[in-house]
Amino acid sequence: MQLLYPCLIFLLLQSGQSQAKRLVGPAREATSSRIKGGQEAETGFAPYQVSLQPVVGAHNCGGAILNEQWIITAGHCVETFVPALVNVITGTNRWAEPGAVYYTAEIHMHCMYDQPYLHNDIALVKLTQNITFNELTQPIKLPTRPVREGDEIVLTGWGAEEAYGSSAENLQKLSLGFVPLDECKEIFNQTSSMGVGHICTYSREGEGACHGDSGGPLVSDGQLVGLVNWGRPCGVGLPDVQANVWYYLDWIRRRISGNSKCTA
Ligand SMILES: *[C@@H]1O[C@H](CO)[C@@H](O)[C@H](O)[C@H]1NC(C)=O
Ligand SMILES: *[C@@H]1O[C@H](CO)[C@@H](O)[C@H](O)[C@H]1NC(C)=O
């Protein structure tokens, strides 16, 4: 057991890769994206964006600041980690140059994480210290309504340029549209890995989320509407599937207020 974490860290450092964004189905060799087809985000564009790093200096996943003490991300980003391996980097467009580093006190996985497969891929992270807010470090609002067709959704992240590639140095942004669930399910041949806890986003072939974007925020009209969950790598002309933050609002509020625990 003692050796597990050093080995894990070693592997992470060796590979320089991010495990983020789960990829489902045939892993096609795709010439693809750091947030494929995205653009470099301006300084301060997404002050709610965080980088989750198992060791400081190795980006693994994205996430978003909900308030002074709480970060939200995808379940698969923290599932295999103890709190000591979830370092939270804030206040920067360059994950290797932290504005600040915060440490994790508690990881709260959704009780039904991955049940069924790829569902309820959402987690909350409670920090050991309050975040100090500034121009580059701000919380994002929870949604006040479900996202719908016609809404503009902005994804930000340090995801790879290619499937399984290394992370982008500078934060990237990409504007996406909303794909209704029934259409998205149709595209994915009625897969059982998609449901009301998901939203789908799409722009065009050659654009989309990629490894390292996982857990990262999708924002519409100043509200957090999604967290990167899964897709085919990367930007191959299919929608990406994200956690539907609107659907998990009750769970988020109950967890943050300490009124909910997994009973199993
Ligand atoms: C941290 O922030 C919470 C929520 O605003 C507040 O209640 C608490 O007093 C703060 N703790 C410290 C140590 O500042
Ligand atoms: C859906 O099924 C068709 C026919 O088998 C196949 O060509 C297509 O690739 C499938 N779509 C996805 C997203 O897997």
What residues contact 163, with CB distance under 8 A and at least 6 apart?
23, 27, 28, 29, 30, 32, 210, 211, 233, 234
Which residues carry out catalysis? 76, 121, 214
**193: helix, strand or coil:** coil
- The pLDDT of 109-128, averaged and rounded, is 97
Any ligand 1 atom below 6 A from CB of 68 = yes
Kindly report the pTM of this predicted structure.
0.89
For ligand 1, say whether the CB of 130 is within 6 Å of any of its atoms: yes
Amino acid at 76: H
What sign has the CA pseudo-torsion 21, 18, 206, 201? positive
Atom of ligand 2 nearest to the CA of 25: 14
- pLDDT single digits (tens) 121-171: 999 999 999 999 999 999 999 999 999 999 999 999 999 877 888 899 999
Q: Can you give the pLDDT at residue 54?
A: 97
**Which of 121, 122, 168 has the alpha carbon at shortest distance from 17?**
168
10 Å Cβ neighbour count for 182?
9
User: Which CATH superfamily is 152-244 part of?
Assistant: Trypsin-like serine proteases (2.40.10.10)
**Which residue has its alpha carbon closest to ligand 2 atom 12?**
188
Structure tokens at 145: 């309504």
- pLDDT tens digits for range 168-227: 999 999 999 999 999 999 999 999 999 999 999 999 999 999 999 999 999 999 999 999
- Sequence-distant (≥ 6) Cβ neighbours of residue 147 within 8 angstroms: 153, 178, 199, 220, 225, 226, 244, 246
> Is residue 125 packed enough to be buried (19+ CB in 10 Å), middle (13-18) or exposed (0-12)?
buried
Contact 52, 62 (CB under 8 A): yes
Q: Can you tell me which residue has the tokens 């191959």? A: 236
pLDDT of the residue at 164: 82
pLDDT of amino acid 35? 82
Look at residue 26 in the predicted model and tell me its pLDDT: 36
Instruction: Locate the domains of the chain by residue range.
Output: 152-244
Q: How confident is the model at residue 36 (pLDDT cuts 50, 70, 90)?
A: confident
- Residue 32 in this model has a pLDDT that exceeds 90: no
d(C-alpha 263, C-alpha 186), whole Å: 35
CA 121 to ligand 2 center in whole angstroms: 24
- Helix, strand or coil, per DSSP, at residue 175: strand
